[in-house]
């Protein structure tokens, strides 16, 4: 028989009338990811020939698409390899033809991630996406909302070294202890997009990373009660920024039932309403993209991953605008 044969699952997909959720999501992402700038960024670091002198390396575009799908679906390297073999939609997005193309194995997928980590490309991916959004008219400059979230690390010692990740630490929140890392973000007050990212171990206080989350042009900064006293810190000296930090919950609970007390409570509600915008990116990172627990050991690897996730979160949150404006 001439031409390429369709596998059963490909045939099934081709004849299906209703697009699956996965197909719809990947079709949208295909349109909103700035592929060329990202390929241009990674290409100088990507090997031109196979290290073993055997088969040529996989096309960079295929490996980048696979890496992004790993982030969107929170897949380990072996699970990503399995998905490429088993799921036609995922294969198609990667640009792989099951009949004539080789499927990258988990070692190849791991090598691509290591390349991004080694060249510190995660942060550059985030900056490239920010520049792309700015070009499309999504500037982030008026006000900033700062916040941090905990990401657990496996506390199990069932690994090669028999110990927990030495770069992760524990912290107490409320009456509960957490072991892992923190993701600190600065979010634009108007668009709700992330403009800065920091990663630390869980025991680092939120306020110590606040200065790194500001781009310097904001007129107002919002934060929860964990940022109380921020304006008195040395790194904030000489800034004309207005800080609108939440009152400590205990203090708010005992506000008097007087006109002044009620006014203060209304002010706190208004601040909380604006601050709520910072929860959207966190929800996308943790719920939509499934990053609730670290799979990688060490802060450098996780820093690279978080930067890529922040870039993808911005594209996901801005997708309506980006699709509508072409």
The top-level CATH class assigned to 140-296 is alpha beta
Region 234-255: mean pLDDT is 82
Instruction: Give the count of beta carbons closer than 10 Å to the beta carbon of residue 96.
Output: 21
Per-position DSSP letters for 98-157, written without gaps between them: TTTSPPP-HHHHHHHHHHHHHTTHHHHHHHHHHHHHHHTT----SEEEEEEEEEE-----
Residue that wins the pLDDT comparison between 256 and 160 = 256
| Residue ranges per structural domain of the chain | 8-119, 140-296
Taking 70 as the threshold, does the pLDDT of residue 52 lie above it? no
Per-position DSSP letters for 141-206, written without gaps between them: -SEEEEEEEEEE------STTSS--TT-EEEEETTEEEEEEEEEEEEETTT--EEEEEEEETTS-G
Taking 90 as the threshold, does the pLDDT of residue 117 lie above it? yes
pLDDT-derived band at 1, boundaries 50, 70, 90: very low
Residue 164: what pLDDT?
72
Least-confidence region, from 7-16, 51-60, 266-275: 7-16
Region 66-77: mean pLDDT is 97
């Amino acid at each position: 028989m001439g031409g390429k044969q369709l596998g059963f699952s490909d045939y099934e997909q081709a004849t299906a009338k209703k697009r699956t959720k996965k197909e719809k999501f990947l079709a949208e992402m295909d349109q909103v990811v700035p592929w060329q700038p990202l390929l241009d960024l990674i290409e100088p670091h990507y090997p031109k020939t196979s290290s073993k002198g055997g088969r040529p390396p996989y096309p960079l575009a295929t490996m980048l698409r696979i890496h992004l799908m790993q982030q969107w679906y929170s897949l380990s390297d072996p699970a990503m390899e399995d998905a490429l073999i088993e799921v036609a939609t995922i294969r198609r997005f990667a640009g792989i033809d099951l009949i004539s193309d080789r499927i990258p194995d988990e070692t190849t997928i791991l090598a691509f991630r290591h390349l991004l980590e080694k060249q510190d490309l995660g942060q550059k991916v985030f900056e490239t996406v920010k520049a792309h959004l700015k070009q499309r008219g999504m500037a982030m400059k008026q006000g900033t909302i700062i916040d941090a979230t905990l990401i657990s690390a496996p506390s199990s010692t069932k690994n090669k070294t028999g110990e927990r990740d030495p770069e992760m630490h524990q912290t107490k929140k409320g009456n509960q202890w957490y072991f892992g890392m923190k993701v600190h973000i600065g979010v634009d007050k108007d668009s709700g997009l992330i403009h800065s990212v920091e990663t630390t171990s869980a025991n680092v206080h939120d306020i110590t990373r606040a200065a790194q989350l500001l781009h310097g042009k904001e007129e107002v900064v919002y934060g929860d009660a964990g940022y109380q006293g921020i304006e008195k810190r040395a790194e904030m000296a000489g800034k004309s920024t207005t800080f609108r930090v939440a009152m400590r919950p205990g203090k708010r609970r005992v506000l008097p039932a007087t006109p002044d007390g009620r006014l203060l409570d209304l002010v706190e509600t208004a601040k909380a309403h604006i601050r709520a915008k910072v929860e959207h990116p966190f929800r996308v990172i943790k719920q939509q993209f499934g990053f609730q627990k670290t799979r990688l050991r060490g802060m450098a690897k996780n820093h690279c991953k978080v930067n890529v996730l922040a870039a993808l979160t911005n594209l996901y949150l801005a997708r309506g605008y980006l699709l509508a404006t072409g």
